[in-house]
Structures are given as structure tokens and as C-alpha cells.
Amino acid sequence: MTYVQLPPEDQLRLMYTCCHPALSLEAQIALTLHTLAGLSTAEIARAFLVDEHDMAERLAVARRTAKDDREFSEHERTPAVLTVLYLLFNEGYSASRSNLADEAIRLARVIAKPGRPEALGLLALMLLHHARRDARLTPEGDLVTLDEQDRTQWNRGEIAEGLQVLDAAQKHEQPGPYQIQAAIAACHVTAPSASDTDWLRIAELYGLLMRLTPSPVVELNRAVAIGMADGPGAGLALVEPLTASLGGYHLLHATRADFLRRLGRRAEAVEAYTQALALTNSAAEKRYLTRRLRETGG
């Protein structure tokens, strides 16, 4: 991955251009990766699981569309730019492709300026998650859950910066989804140990997030927090109604399995772990769920 280092104002202009409203979200991401992150057509094609020739054609169309640009306000396109950066970071973080996560953070620094509280919130969120990257996997590539991570491996410099950026965002007193998610991440990274985590505060923050961006996934995360604060029975009661909307989401079944296991309902937990295992494509998650399944008696 190579890119030409442009002045920040030129990078910012390019980000807004890549997020032309006539382009699909996929095209916006691909064009950003190609134009600003310097990924080759082949690398982007692999990321999108498509043929290289097909991606080359898509990029050509996207470039032609973006060139036919009109004057626009930053306010109009900033949400799209933040979405693209958020998805770029998540792709790098979830797939342990640190180059993509690093690039998302680099670009977020360009847009995260005073007067843009959500851009600051997104940068804070990225930094607070990225700070835990070295503790997320074992040397063999196995998943390490947050409660089991070695906190001495967390990057304290990134945590300090993330908290500082979050504080700057919150001073605007214009709360938004990225700021709230960053505040949740802050609860985790500032807890001295997993047992010291303020799950009630996290549940409260997910409640705020639900009001701004209601979705079954946010409800699931809130259920996890309540289950940690008030016990697995309380969490399970909130998870069960979500099975209709999140039946194809492996983390719904993994969460349900964990609550059932903690309640001693092992047969049901085995079934739920098996469902989760069938729905994930991540090798690390498969190994983790297989281990849990074995420990539960499956």
C-alpha cells in the first residue's frame, strides 16, 4: 500500500470528492481506498471479493462520476465521509488487517478538527479500539475476549490520546453516535480490570445510542451490558426477542449461548454455540466458539 502524501486540505477535498452522493457506499469506499489509501485495484478487489477486472471497471465509473462534481458543503457530505472511514477501520480491525485500520485513523485525523464533534468522536473511537489490537489475538491467532485480554498489552499512548480527543468532542455538547460509542469504549479501557467495568454506565450509553440510531444490533449490545450488570437471566430476557430480527447474525447466537451457559442450561447453550459456529466465517471466531462448545459439553 502506497500513497502520495498530500497537504491535509487536499486530502480532505479528495475525501469529500470520493463520497459523491451519486456513488453507492461500496463505490465510495473503493474509491477512497484507491485514491487516498493507495491500495491497488487487485488489493481492493480482494477486499470486496470480486474479480480484479470487474473492480477496475467499477473504479473507472466511480472516477468519472466523482469528476463530474458540483460545489458542495462539508456539512452535506461529512456523514458519508465518516461512514466510509468507520467501515474502513472496521474492516481492518475485524480482519486484523492493521494497514487498513492504520489508514482509517490517518484519514480520520485529517477530518477530526474543532467544530466537528462527530469526526472527533470517530477518531476517539478508532484510537480506543486500536489500542487493544495487540491483546485481541494469541500468537497462534486465537481470539481473546475483552474480559480475558492482558491489559498490559494495551497501548496506553493511544488510550490517552483517544480519551483526550473524546473530551474535545464532548465539549461541543452535541452528542452523536460516534461519540457515544467512543464513550462506551472509554468505559472499557479505563477499567482497571474486567470486573471493575461499569456495565450500568455502558447499558445507559447503549440506551442513548438506541435513541439516536435504533437497531437490533444496538439492542443486542445493550442486552450484553445489562446481562453483565444484572445477571445472565436479565440479559437473556432481552436477547430472546431479537432472534427474529438477528437470526442470521452469529453474535446473537454466541451471546445467547453465553447467557445460557452461565445459567447452567447447557443443552440449550450447546445448540446456540453450534448455530453461532455455523454462521461465522472468521477462523479465529470459529476456534473460539469451538472451544466454548467443547467446554460446555458439546
Mean pLDDT over residues 265-288, rounded?
94
Tell me if 32 sits within 8 A of 15, measured CB to CB: yes
* pLDDT tens per residue across span 11-29: 778 888 888 888 888 888 8
Instruction: Please say if the pLDDT value at position 63 is more than 60.
Output: yes
| pLDDT value for 3 | 47
* pLDDT tens per residue across span 231-275: 999 999 999 999 999 999 999 999 999 999 999 999 999 999 999
Please provide residue 182's backbone torsions phi and psi, each rounded to the nearest 5 degrees: -65, -35
* Greatest mean pLDDT among 70-74, 101-105, 131-135: 131-135
Tell me whether residue 286 is exposed, middle or buried, using C-beta atoms within 10 angstroms of its C-beta: 0 to 12, 13 to 18, 19 or more: middle
Q: How confident is the model at residue 95 (pLDDT cuts 50, 70, 90)?
A: low
Q: 198-298: CATH homologous superfamily? A: Tetratricopeptide repeat domain (1.25.40.10)
In angstroms, the CA 86 to CA 132 distance is 17
Residues in the chain: 298
* pLDDT tens per residue across span 203-218: 999 999 999 999 999 9
| pLDDT value for 5 | 63
Please provide residue 95's backbone torsions phi and psi, each rounded to the nearest 5 degrees: -95, 5
